Amino acid sequence: MSDILRIADRSFDSRLFVGTGKFPDKRVIGDVIKACGCQMVTVALRRVDEKSDDENILDYIPSDCIIMINTSGARNADEAIRIARLARAMGCGRWIKIEVIPDNKYLLPDNVETLKATETLVSEGFILLAYMNPDLIIARALAKAGAAAVMPLGAPIGSGRGFKTKEIVKIMVNELDVPVIVDAGLGSPADAAACMELGCDAVLVNTAIAISKDPVMEAKAFDFAVNAGRTHYILSGSALPAPRAACASSPLTGFLRDGNKV
C-alpha cells in the first residue's frame, strides 16, 4: 500500500517525526532514528556554551533525514524570525518549525505571533510547519499564509498527558487542506495510534521517546503504533462519520451584512 505523506516538495514514508531534546545520552539519537525509520527530526538553536564540549547534535542525525529547526526560545514573531534566519545561515536548509511560546508554565503557543512569523518567513522562502494551539480558523490562516503543515498540540509539551484535544483536531483534519501533525503531549504509542486513526497526517514525539528506559525500543513502538493507526484510518476512516457539525443557536438568517441577501 503506497501511502506517502507530502509536505512542501518532500515525500515521507514515515509519519513519525522525532524531536531530539532531553536524551540523556545524545549518542543514542542515531539509533533511535534508524530504528523507527524517521525521516524528519527537529533540533533547536542555542547560544554556544563555551564550557561544554564541542558536541554537535547534527553529527548524530543520519544524513538522509530532514532536519527541521524549531524556534523554541522565541517569545514573539520577531524572535522566531531571527532564529529561522540564523538556522538557514548555518546551512540547515529551509525547514522550520515555528514555535512561539510566551508562557513558561504550560508552554502554550501564541497563535497570533505564530501567524505573523509564518507570513514573513514564507516570503523568505522557508518551509514552515507551525506548532499551534488547536484552532481551525488560525490553522486556515496559517495555511493561507503558506504554512506547509499545522502542528496542533495534543497536550502541554512534555506532559505526556496524551491526545487531549481530539475535538478541535478532528475538525481541523476534516476541514484543512494542509497536513495536520499532532505535536506535544503524546505519552504512549496508543496516543499516537489514536491520532492517526482520527486522520492526522503525522505525529511528532520527543519526550516519551527521549526519557524512556530504552529510547530505541520506545521509538520502534511509536513507529509501529503510527503505522497501525494510519492503516486503520485508511481502511476505515472514510467510513467514519464526520464530526457532528454545529447547529446555530442564533438564527442563520437576517444577518446584517453588506451585499448579502436577507
Burial of 233 (0-12, 13-18, 19+ CB in 10 A): buried
Residue 166 contact among a second copy, other proteins, none, beta carbon within 5 to 8 Å by kind: a second copy
Q: Which DSSP symbol is given to 27?
A: G
Q: Which residues pair with residue 127 across a beta bridge?
A: 95
- Catalytic residue, chosen from 97, 116, 166, 220, is 97
Question: Least distance (Å) from other proteins to the CB of residue 238?
Answer: 25
Cell 522562502 sits at which residue? 125
Of residues 2, 4, 9, 47, which one binds other proteins by CB under 8 A? 47
Handedness of CA 140, 113, 8, 5 (dihedral sign): negative
Cα distance between residue 124 and residue 143, in whole Å: 16
Indicate if 51 belongs to the active site. Answer: no
Which stretches of 160-256 are assigned E, i.e. beta strand?
181-183, 202-205
* 19 touches other proteins by CB under 8 A: yes
> Per CB under 8 A, does 259 bind other proteins?
yes
In the block, residue with C-alpha cell 517569545: 75
Site for other proteins in 196-225 (CB under 8 A): 204, 206-207, 210
* Residue 151 φ then ψ, to 5°: -125, 80
Q: Is 15 in the site for a second copy (CB under 8 A)?
A: no
CB of 149 to a second copy, least distance (A): 18
Subset of residues 98 to 137 that bind a second copy, contact rule: CB under 8 A: 99, 102-103, 105-112, 115, 133-137
H-assigned helices in 161-214: 166-175, 189-198, 207-210
- Residue 59: DSSP 8-state: G
Classify 98 as helix, strand or coil.
Answer: strand
- Binding to a second copy in span 153-182, by CB under 8 A: 155-159, 161, 164-168, 171, 175
Residue 221 contacts a second copy per CB under 8 A: yes
At 45, list the grid cell. 538553536
Angle at 63 between CA 57 and CA 65, to 5 degrees: 85
Q: How far is the CB of 216 from other proteins (least distance, A)?
A: 16
Q: 36, 98, 139, 157: which one contacts other proteins (CB under 8 A)?
A: 157
* Residue 249 interacting with other proteins (CB under 8 A): yes
| Residue positions annotated with a catalytic role | 97
Residues within the interface to other proteins (CB under 8 A): 19-23, 26, 29, 42-48, 50, 54, 56-58, 69-70, 72, 85-87, 89-90, 92, 157-158, 184, 204, 206-207, 210, 248-251, 254, 256-262
